[in-house]
Amino acid sequence: MDEAALITQAQRGDLDSFNRLVLDYQGLAYNVAYRIMGEAAPAEDATQEAFLSAYRAIRRFRGGSFRGWLLRIVTHACYDELRRRKRRPSISLEGFEADSEGGESDSNPALASPGDGPETAAERSALARGIQECLERLPAEFRAVAVLADVQELEYQEVAAAIGRPVGTVKSRLARARARLRDCLQGLGELLPASYRLEGETIG
Amino acid sequence: MSSLSNLSPRELEWLSAYADGELPPQETASLRARLERDPGLRLALAEIQQTAGLLRSLPALKPPRAFTLSAERAAVARRYPRLQLATALTGLAFFLVVGADVFARTGMAAPRLLAAEQQVAVPAAEPALDQVLEKEQPLPEEGLQSAPPEAAGTAAPAQAEARAAELAATAPPVGQSTAAEELAAAPPQTATAPTFADTGQAAGETQSAEATPEAEALALELQSQAEMPESASGDDQVAAQAQEGDRLAAPELTQVPGAAPSAGQLSEAAPFRTLNRIAGAGLAFQLAEIGLGGAALVLAVLTLRTRRRR
């Protein structure tokens, strides 16, 4: 069954069809949530919350990019979760503990990419954590755009749909996010790939 | 520092969009021309591309579990917004009723104060009078509706006066009944007084035969009251008698709800309805507050539990 048919079925209240859409999109949703939240536990909460919201709202989906529509719900769920955690900061401790399970730890088999290059898995993991930390220093709305456009490589149009803003806003936010990220990433020093480091040094 | 900081926001935006191939053709052409001339700009473009490349290099994470919804969870998900709405509406209704209650209570305080001022102006015939007047104070609200504003404080006594007169008319003639007739004949204190008195008397004449025992007893009591304050004069006397009559009549009349309404009861109904309405409204408010408050509480607990189960 193709996506459009699944959506139609889900809109008629068919839970199985909706769950097939969940399975198709949960990887994307969880990754976006993780990159925005920075921790496994809150990312998991936000993802679950997003799919529940999507289930309740799917009748109101009126065509267009389902991915963009769903990602908008995911980003909203992330913002909500971030606000909630700001109000009750104690929760983030749990998040750190749980991080070793679903996050970028060395032992995570999800990280072992097939073509292992010269860098070791540990180095890659440290770089990934460094990049993630730089992402987290961005204001949430800039972070969301950087995650969607650069990490997930979405078209501007789809990013615009996902954040509910015009393409012009995506352009300016992404440009500013990249400039800030560049400054932060230079601080990672040795963790950066050689090419990036050299370039950074010549610029001073 | 990064060379990106040296760019204007517009240049930065152009380079960023250009790196993604999202710059409109015309701007792309002009930017390309500038890139050829300006090595600094080329460097900035390279930095943007590398930054984006680093972000792209982030590994995709495997979701820790499946996020599919169980049938139960889906049902809860559908139920939750409805519960939320019900809780919100019940809570709102609760606060509206509490607000209305508070408004009704404080709203009645205004005429009460007005009446209290007028009481001070009238020399008290005896200490008991003040107490009686105080007890009757909820009445002025009705008085305000039927009488000119300046007569608010005296409206109730005037109505009671009319009732006294007409009760006397329905009662068997006893020696002191003239006192009650005097009350009716006394200069009207409010615009509504004559109407009450007239209709009361007229009805009393035609329907005196139907007077209930209760009404008769009431009339007797009223007359005995009328005897008492001989030293008191004029308006004070009228007010005292009328108020006393009100106070005495109230329990007796409300005790016989099944009795055929005599003319006296009909014309008396207005002030008592007010009393009953105030008492009834207070009770209704309390019941509504308890009911709505309880319902809101139960719904809130249900909502929170549902929220946790989600």
Return the number of other C-beta atoms located less than 10 Å from residue A105's C-beta.
Answer: 14
Residue B46 within any structural domain of the chain = yes
Q: Which residue type sits at B88?
A: A
> Is B3 near chain A, with CB under 8 Å?
yes
* Span B91-118, pLDDT tens digits: 999 999 988 888 888 776 555 555 555 5
Chain B residues with CB under 8 Å of A44 CB are: 64-65
The most confident of A109-123, A179-193, B123-137, by mean pLDDT: A179-193
Shortest Cα distance, chain A CAs vs residue B58, angstroms: 6
Judgement on whether residues A148 and A64 belong to the same structural domain of the protein: no
Judgement on whether residues B87 and B51 belong to the same structural domain of the protein: no
Between the CA atoms of B290, B291, B297 and B301, what dihedral angle is there, to the nearest 10 degrees?
A: 150
Residue B66 within any structural domain of the chain = no
Instruction: Find the CATH number of the domain harbouring A7.
Output: 1.10.1740.10
pLDDT of residue B142: 44
Judgement on whether residues A88 and A123 belong to the same structural domain of the protein: no
What is the rounded CA–CA span in Å between residue B217 and residue B167?
Answer: 10
Judgement on whether residues A57 and A33 belong to the same structural domain of the protein: yes
Element (H, E) at A23: helix A15-37
Number of domains chain A contains: 2
Question: In this complex, which of B2, B17, B68 lies closest to A23 when CB atoms are compared?
Answer: B68
Residue A42 within any structural domain of the chain = yes
Judgement on whether residues B52 and B95 belong to the same structural domain of the protein: no
Closest CA to B52 of A186, A166, A28, A177: A177
Judgement on whether residues A89 and A1 belong to the same structural domain of the protein: yes
Residue A187 within any structural domain of the chain = yes
pLDDT of residue B56: 93
CA distances from B204 to A20, B155, B189, B252, B261 (A): 86, 21, 22, 19, 12
Number of domains chain B contains: 2
> Is B5 near chain A, with CB under 8 Å?
yes
pLDDT of residue A87: 81
Judgement on whether residues A169 and A127 belong to the same structural domain of the protein: yes
Mean pLDDT within A123-132? 86
Judgement on whether residues B247 and B181 belong to the same structural domain of the protein: yes
Complex-level ipTM: 0.81
pLDDT of residue B278: 65
* Span A71-92, pLDDT tens digits: 999 999 999 999 988 887 654 4
Confidence of residue B162 (pLDDT cuts 50, 70, 90): very low
pLDDT of residue B73: 82
Nearest CA in chain A to B22: A156
Residue A148 within any structural domain of the chain = yes
What is the rounded CA–CA span in Å between residue A160 and residue A145?
Answer: 9
Residue B143 within any structural domain of the chain = yes
pLDDT of residue A108: 45
> Is B55 near chain A, with CB under 8 Å?
yes
Tokens 């520092």 belong to B1
Closest CA to A35 of B57, B214, B82: B57
Domain membership of residue B142 as a residue range:
83-286
> Is B16 near chain A, with CB under 8 Å?
yes
User: What percent of chain A has pLDDT above 70?
Assistant: 79
Between the CA atoms of A19, A24, A29 and A34, what dihedral angle is there, to the nearest 10 degrees?
A: 110
Closest CA to B64 of A50, A44, A23: A44
pLDDT of residue A92: 45
Question: In this complex, which of A26, A131, A204 lies closest to B63 when CB atoms are compared?
Answer: A26
A185 three-state secondary structure: helix
Structure tokens given for B307? 């929220």
Q: Which residue type sits at A201?
A: E
Domain membership of residue A138 as a residue range:
119-204
Judgement on whether residues B178 and B103 belong to the same structural domain of the protein: yes
Judgement on whether residues B94 and B52 belong to the same structural domain of the protein: no
Judgement on whether residues B42 and B105 belong to the same structural domain of the protein: no
Judgement on whether residues B110 and B23 belong to the same structural domain of the protein: no
Q: Is the pLDDT of residue B291 over 80?
A: yes
pLDDT of residue A133: 93
Residue A108 within any structural domain of the chain = no
pLDDT of residue B19: 95
Q: Is the pLDDT of residue B43 over 70?
A: yes
Residue A114 within any structural domain of the chain = no
Residue A178 within any structural domain of the chain = yes
What is the rounded CA–CA span in Å between residue B263 and residue B289?
Answer: 38
In this structure, of B16-30, B124-138, B193-207, the range with the lowest mean pLDDT score is: B193-207
Residue B291 within any structural domain of the chain = no
Between residues A8 and B79, the one the model is more confident about: A8
Q: What DSSP designation does B253 have?
A: H
Residue B295 within any structural domain of the chain = no
Q: Do B59 and A124 make contact, defined as CB atoms within 8 angstroms?
A: yes
Residue A40 within any structural domain of the chain = yes
Judgement on whether residues A7 and A94 belong to the same structural domain of the protein: yes
